[in-house]
Chain A
């Protein structure tokens, strides 16, 4: 079988966690199909070539490095042209991308350039001789669709968090490649990349999310949610649409049908009633905790552990108890 390409996403010269997920997924696909090489592809500015070790550690046999001063930031046309060009060689069987903001932009462009179909935002995959079978949550997560993807190379984008990075060390060969077009001739250019909430963990990468709704009553009360997330340590902070619509939190914090879809190990819903629009974004969390004053709130129908009561009393206590637990370990 031809090799599998794994697009390794980076930002500001660092690999993103989804890069390791994608390489791990490609390794698993290659092994399950009886063995094939995994070629990770890394595109970035000068110095990006020093970021190949962890790709080899997670199962890449080859890392193709495209290093160019004009590619320190994402450049949709150059990236798409370069990845598509690469996929025209070597008889690639498949290519894996992350269904991240960048991957969702890049993968369809590459697919259209190659004239092949793309299975988007998949949570499971299986390589067959004549097709790839994938699982894709659709209809705001209310329906799981099994799809058959025909054609070579088969392009897939993988939902962030659906594969856990696993080490599977290889002796990695590195090869350098030039971009398929001069970045200076790109029609679309990124003129600014600004960090938002720089120190906070991203919702898609956090294993624990603490999320707040209207029950918090005012923007400043989100401090209670922030405090709990800080006490837990590796937690991100989310919000409902009502809260982001009111400007209490940035729009990027919204979890739900029109916001982020997340599947953390633990989701703590604070002052959230549980509208369908919100549940669509978090119902696949492994464990759900709900704190709400209304015992009839819909969130309690899906919460593994619910506490009815005043969040302004419960939250500080929970934060305090978790600090104690964290100190003991």
Chain B
């Protein structure tokens, strides 16, 4: 089984962000980067499938040379090789990214192509299903359970207040939600091995970008928090404020 996992390098979301002088991008100074949360789950799913069924997992990422660190992390976790589709700036437009990925994946002979359900930075969740459509492959998005038997798969995805089970033939594209598998930590041996694994760099075929950033802003600060009292005796005051000030009851 040959599995491709498309991963993204994203800023550590625990950090405090500030906007740079052009008002169109984040101030990059001091930003730390990591693999997107959901991409980690996707890679873990791929590694477990390959361990069970044989074959190889390949990690791909679009971006500047900084993404090589993220790709090396994927290799350290157990991917066999890595591909960087090089572009100085990753566009916001999911279709532009999907086109570049589809061009690379098209003739790769992959049985499965996995994505995280969305990147935690741009929070669009569009690249996976768009890539599937461009490649004309069956696709199930945001799955939290997966079973592959032979050339068929069954996946479950969570909806609002319900769950959907879907069946599909391979090859297929899947986007992975949380809860399916906890990403492993890279072992020291894995980290050493990763340094010798192949990492291929190719230019990304990013076409026209038609979803462009006009500006970025920090959301307005919430008013500072207010403690209105201690213990159960504060409950009547809370209700009074909710009724008269917040007007929710």
Contact = CB atoms under 8 A, between A and B. Distances in A.
B231 A307 contact: yes
B140 to A, nearest CB: 6
Contact of B158 (A108, A208, A252, A277): A252
Nearest to B123: A138
A265 B248 contact: yes
B218 A144 contact: yes
Interface in B195-249: 210-219, 222-232, 234-236, 238-239, 241-243, 246, 248-249
B98 interface: yes
Nearest to B165: A192
28 contacts: A76-B140, A80-B133, A105-B141, A108-B94, A108-B126, A108-B130, A117-B210, A136-B123, A137-B219, A140-B123, A144-B218, A145-B92, A147-B92, A150-B212, A189-B168, A192-B163, A196-B158, A266-B246, A283-B222, A300-B227, A304-B222, A305-B238, A305-B241, A307-B235, A308-B227, A314-B232, A318-B235, A318-B239
Interface stretch (B11-19, B65-73, B184-192): B11-19
Contact of A313 (B17, B94, B127, B231): B231
A294 to B, nearest CB: 11
Interface stretch (A55-63, A175-183, A199-207): A199-207
Interface stretch (A19-27, A28-36, A118-126, A212-220): A118-126
Interface in B56-108: 92-96, 98
B206 to A, nearest CB: 13
Interface of B: 11, 13-14, 17, 19, 26, 37-38, 92-96, 98, 120-134, 138-142, 144, 154, 157-169, 178-179, 210-219, 222-232, 234-236, 238-239, 241-243, 246, 248-249
Contact of B129 (A109, A208, A304, A308): A109
Interface residues of A, number: 98
A74 B123 contact: no
A321 B218 CA distance: 38
A162 to B, nearest CB: 14
B37 A257 contact: yes
State the main secondary structure of chain B at its contact with A. Answer: mixed
Nearest first, the 4 closest Cβ-Cβ pairs linking A and B are A112-B133, A309-B231, A192-B165, A108-B126
A258 B13 CA distance: 11
Contacts of B13: 139-140, 142, 257, 276-277, 280
Interface string A249-278: 001101001110000011000000000110
Interface stretch (A38-46, A86-94, A96-104, A163-171): A96-104
Nearest to B26: A143
Contact of A119 (B38, B211, B225, B234): B211
Contact of A321 (B120, B230, B236): B236
A314 B169 contact: no
Nearest to A197: B161
A202 B17 contact: no
Given A287-B246, A306-B226, A259 B178 contact: yes
Contact of A322 (B210, B234, B239): B239
B168 A187 contact: yes
Contacts of B96: 117
| Residue among A137, A146, A194, A258 having the largest count of chain B Cβ atoms under 10 Å | A258
B38 A258 contact: yes
A23 to B, nearest CB: 18
